[in-house]
Amino acid sequence: MTITVHIRRLPHAADLPLPGYATEGAAGMDLHAAVSLVIPPRGRALVPTGIAIALPEGYEMQIRPRSGLALRHGLTVLNAPGTVDADYRGEVGVILLNTGNEACTIARGERIAQAVFAPITRAIWQEVEALPETRRGAGGFGSTGRGP
């Protein structure tokens, strides 16, 4: 399945590649940093990508961490997955968090995150007096991992 997404390369990223799939079977497109910066240990930064997009109605773009950066440097996307809504027209930014013990340098043009496109299902609330019973009930936060 494919969708067409309008993309605008912003002036400060005119020389950077557009996001793309690294392999034939890749689920996510690599997003590039439009600036160079250093993220201190346990620090975070909003990293601009130099692109703005217009998604088709009914879709979102999810921003996810890159596994190599997570493994090598402890970098993750703070609000993973981040969501770019269909009606947003500003620059796509990635909030990176350095969970490591050393500063991490991001070079301009470096692949910093992945973009995955997903259809949206919208919900309509139906308020009720009681919810249907289940075996689990209100048990949460590890309740299903307990032994007998």
pTM of the model: 0.88
Q: Give the model's pLDDT for residue 137.
A: 86
In this model, does residue 118 exceed pLDDT 90? yes
Q: Which tens digits make up the pLDDT trace of 74-114? A: 999 999 999 999 999 999 999 999 999 999 999 999 999 99
DSSP codes of every residue in 55-69: PPTTEEEEEE--HHH
* Residue spans per domain, the chain: 6-122
> Cα–Cα distance between 139 and 24 in angstroms, integer?
42
Helix (H) or strand (E) segment spanning residue 126: none
Q: Give the model's pLDDT for residue 148.
A: 56
Q: Is 146 exposed, middle or buried (0-12, 13-18, 19+ CB in 10 A)?
A: exposed
φ, ψ for residue 82 (rounded to 5)? -70, 155
Q: Which tens digits make up the pLDDT trace of 4-35? A: 999 999 999 999 999 999 999 999 999 999 99
Instruction: Give the CATH superfamily of 6-122.
Output: Deoxyuridine triphosphatase (dUTPase) (2.70.40.10)
